[in-house]
Amino acid sequence: MNRTTIIMVVLALGSMGLAWNMRPLPPQTGSFEDTGTALSEGFTDPTLATALEVVTWDDKEAKVVRFAVEQKQGRWVIPSHNDYPADGTERMGKAAASFIDVKKDIYYGDNAAEHGQYGVIDPTSEDGKGDERGKHVTIKDAAGKILVDVIVGKEIAEKQGYFYIRHPEEKRVYGARLELDISTNFTDWIEKDLLKVKRDEIVAMLYDPYTVDEELGKVTGTNPIRANLGKVDGRDEWSAAEGMELPDGKIVDTAKVRQMVTAIASIKIVGVRPRPKPLTLQALQSKGFFVTPDGKRLFGNEGEARIVTNDGVVFSLYFGEITYDSGLALTAGGEVEGEETPVTPELDAEKDEKTANRYMFVEVAYDPSIDKGEQPEPPEEGEAPKLRGQDRAKQLGGRFGEWFYVISDISYKQIHKERTDLFKNAPVPKDPPAPGGAPPSPGPPPGM
């Protein structure tokens, strides 16, 4: 090998070495001093969790969104939704358990400049876009001690079930195996049975799909349908209440009334708004509800429905204004009362592209004349008998008296029918047999 050849080989090897040193490197992984340690040291009992907050970035709304659940005075509430009652014990346990035995499995580095690619930028930071911001989860115990405080980022593509994570006060990023069971959906945390009534308990129904002319200040088209449940030939059938005028040749359609009653008993809400105390006319009218000058009668601008149970509890539902809000604005309302999205002509013109949810006002009363239930316990001497419906109505009245509700457009349409939909043709009476003669001929067989 001559000198020239040797020089060329040396130069080639040098170039290869330089190229190797300049190659793109994968994210730094491996072990560090705390690799394999617990993500939330000392947190082993999910029942200790009494407060959860999740902070995320809503890219569509371009704002930070906070969702919180906590235990206050022995009951679960949702602070981010004006302390609306939460059905929280089981779901909080699952959320907290998501972080039990979670380890810092894979070390990905301490470079803050790489936080965006891992999706672990603090959601409240002014830096980062879209999925570059993570989900900040904080869990505390009853004393306010932090049990979990972590920003959860993107799922790791090459490791299913693993997510990038970091502690908010640290730059270091780890990969951890997580089975996240944390919902920030309002309806996942609340009691889904709003009225707490079964269809078989309902014995009477009133429906009146009137409208309110707000400019003239008058109710138009009121003509309530009243129906009662009773036995006909041994079967439960709905029929017109005494004194109700029926259209000529029509009777109440049992199947249609049953459908409406079922829809009312299973009504679902998608949002809540606190009722101010004292309740003002302005607060009512902003949601589409109106009161007569004497203050004795409430109307919803899209009618009302009423059901009565066999223990005398009377539920009155008033249907109010449409709201096109979405996200947190739908489920909790504006940060300031009345800060709702106004229904402008421009917005109303886009209604086919938006979800038109609707406000609902619920009142509960008690009618002892209908209460067929038994006394919960014998009355004390000198006390009037107390039937079970009294306590139930009082309890429900306190619950509903604090809130305006927002129901989905689907729930509203299942209840809100045309008046004519609840009637059907009356059966044609059969001709009685002629006195002393044979019954009338049934006519020729079919097809003749």
Summarised one tens digit per residue, pLDDT across range 352-385 is 446 789 999 999 999 988 887 655 566 666 666 6
Percent of the chain with pLDDT over 90: 61
pLDDT in tens, 414-443: 999 999 999 999 988 776 655 655 544 444
State the pLDDT at residue 29: 47
Is 138 in a helix, a strand, or coil?
Answer: strand
Residue 48 phi, psi (nearest 5): -75, -20
Going by the DSSP 8-state scheme, the letter that residue 87 receives in this structure is -
As a whole number of angstroms, the distance between CA 369 and CA 383 comes to 18
pLDDT: which is higher, 334 or 257? 257
State the pLDDT at residue 204: 96
What are 319's strand-pairing partners? 360
pLDDT in tens, 213-259: 988 889 999 999 999 999 888 888 999 999 999 999 999 999 999 99
Chain mean pLDDT for the chain: 84
Of the given ranges (20-29, 172-181, 275-284, 302-311), which has the lowest mean pLDDT? 20-29
* Strand boundaries in 310-349, DSSP class E: 313-323
| Contact criterion met (CB below 8 Å) for 36 and 105 | yes
Nearest CA to 45 out of 147, 138, 152, 137 is that of 147
Handedness of CA 367, 371, 375, 381 (dihedral sign): positive
**Banded model confidence at residue 59, pLDDT cuts 50, 70, 90:** confident
Beta-carbon contacts of 237 under 8 Å, excluding residues fewer than 6 positions away, are 229, 230, 231, 254
pLDDT in tens, 76-95: 999 989 999 998 788 898 89
> Residues of 216-248 as b/e, b for ≥16 C-beta within 10 angstroms?
eeebeeeebbbbbbeeeeeeebbbbeeeeeeee
State the pLDDT at residue 360: 97
| Contact criterion met (CB below 8 Å) for 407 and 360 | yes
pLDDT: which is higher, 56 or 374? 56
Percent of the chain with pLDDT over 70: 80
CA dihedral 147→149→155→161, nearest 10 degrees, is: -10
